[in-house]
């Protein structure tokens, strides 16, 4: 079964630092257009525009999505199979506040996405209670920007990893169900 970098249509190789694989695309073109973001994520443009309109993602600058915006889109895309959009937005807000204001962030969106990819890469066949330990190990290099930021980040990443894994199970169950339906 082909696996993809979380939130994208790009092949997943299990490496940490996934955003570093995408960053050169953004820098080479001084940002990505909506159609380029759609090609990378497999999302409809209307979905991304809706997320911007609802304040889950900051507005593109000169019709181009930069690193921070793409990382947030990838985080939302990674979680949307198993978490309601409003809950994802609330979770993102607990970590980094308003999508349009970086002053209230406790971590960059890109680093949070990389942490999530690293956790996901190490959770195959792992019981849910082991994810918290992996999150703690992966975020051990995180320097909190304010009191309890590390705790908030670790809790949010655990929620994100569990939701992502649950989404994978849901997709697998849906695929099996569809196959059963076709064969009956």
Q: In this structure, are residues 84 and 54 in contact, taking their beta carbons and an 8 Å threshold? A: no
Which residues lie below 8 Å from residue 90, measured CB to CB, with a gap of 6+?
A: none
What global pTM score does this model have? 0.85
d(CA 12, CA 77): 15
- pLDDT, one tens digit per residue, over 12-62 is 765 556 788 888 888 999 999 999 999 999 999 999 999 999 999 999 999
pLDDT in tens, 157-172: 999 999 988 888 888 8
Residue 61: strand pairing partners: 64
């Amino acid at each position: 079964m082909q696996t993809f970098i979380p939130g994208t249509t790009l092949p997943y190789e299990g490496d940490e630092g996934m955003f570093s694989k995408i960053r050169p695309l953004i820098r080479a073109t001084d940002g990505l257009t909506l159609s380029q973001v759609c090609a990378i994520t497999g999302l409809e443009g209307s979905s991304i525009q809706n997320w911007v309109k609802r304040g889950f993602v900051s507005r593109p600058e000169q019709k181009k999505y930069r690193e921070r915006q793409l990382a947030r889109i990838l985080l939302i895309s990674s979680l949307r199979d198993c978490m309601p959009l409003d809950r994802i937005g609330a979770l993102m807000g607990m970590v980094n506040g308003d999508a349009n204001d970086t002053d209230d962030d406790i971590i960059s969106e890109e680093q949070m996405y990389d942490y999530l990819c690293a956790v996901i890469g190490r959770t195959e066949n792992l019981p849910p209670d082991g994810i918290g330990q992996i999150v703690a190990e992966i975020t051990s290099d995180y320097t909190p920007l304010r009191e309890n930021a590390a705790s908030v980040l670790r809790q949010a990443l655990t929620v994100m990893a569990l939701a992502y894994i649950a989404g994978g199970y849901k997709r697998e169950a849906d695929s099996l169900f569809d196959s059963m339906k076709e064969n009956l």
